[in-house]
Amino acid sequence: MKKDKAVVVFSGGQDSTTCLFWALEQFKEVEAVTFDYNQRHRLEIDCARNITQELNVKHHILDMSLLNQLAPNALTRDDIPVLDGEEGELPSTFVPGRNLLFLSFAGILARGIGAKHIVTGVCETDFSGYPDCRDMFIKSLNVTLNLSMDENLVIHTPLMWLNKAETWEMADSLQAFDFVREKTLTCYNGIIADGCGECPACKLRENGLNEYLASKGEL
């Protein structure tokens, strides 16, 4: 039996779109929320809007531009190069406090629309070292949100222990493989679908895709 209502934290990328399809299978009613923090590519918001319209999912876009001012990084500044972290340092794409703020506002939105569930695509297996994608952080924040609002919200992380190949497998099992491959935006250079093939996000996505296709004998 499907649970009642959920809010999906939604960027229009591979992971959050897979989670959106997952949520549509799990919950009677689903709404999506996208955060506008003056990210490097405005196309991300357009992509999220187009996907939710196609899937007939109510879509909220919230202004989080203050995050852009407080946390300059490669996702908010064109003059900061996209670089992997080296020698234990975080990648230049890490936005301090992003998931803390996004999930907190998603919780407030959920309370306002009567949803008891929040779905996010964070993942500790392929998380690029981001501390706010770890399971421990999500569990801690879930407790804090409920204490702050005297609620019983549940944060769901269906991708938490999956690698990218397994995420592609999940999309396929949800009959969403082609949709996710062709209509999502993961690329740090703002190219929809298979992307630029050069940035860290595209390489992670492509490696996972190739691994999954190879496991099916299609590569």
SS3 of residue 119 by DSSP: strand
Judge whether 65 is annotated as a binding position: no
Judge whether 69 is annotated as a binding position: no
Judge whether 129 is annotated as a binding position: no
Judge whether 21 is annotated as a binding position: no
* Residue 38: both structure tokens together: 């003056």
Judge whether 12 is annotated as a binding position: yes
Any residues with CB less than 8 A from the CB of 64 and at least 6 apart, and which?
A: 35, 36, 37, 101, 102, 105
Judge whether 24 is annotated as a binding position: no
Judge whether 26 is annotated as a binding position: no
Judge whether 11 is annotated as a binding position: yes
Judge whether 133 is annotated as a binding position: no
Judge whether 140 is annotated as a binding position: no
* Residue 99: both structure tokens together: 């998931």
Judge whether 173 is annotated as a binding position: no
Any residues with CB less than 8 A from the CB of 95 and at least 6 apart, and which?
A: 37, 67, 71, 73, 75, 76
Judge whether 123 is annotated as a binding position: no
* Residue 182: both structure tokens together: 């062709």
Judge whether 167 is annotated as a binding position: no
Judge whether 70 is annotated as a binding position: no
Torsion angle of alpha carbons 120, 126, 131, 137, nearest 10°? 40
Judge whether 199 is annotated as a binding position: yes
Q: What angle do CA 19, 78, 163 make, to 5 degrees?
A: 30
Q: Which residues are known binding-site members for ATP? A: 10-20
Q: Which residues are known binding-site members for Zn(2+)? A: 187, 196, 199, 202
Q: Which residues are known binding-site members? A: 10-20, 187, 196, 199, 202
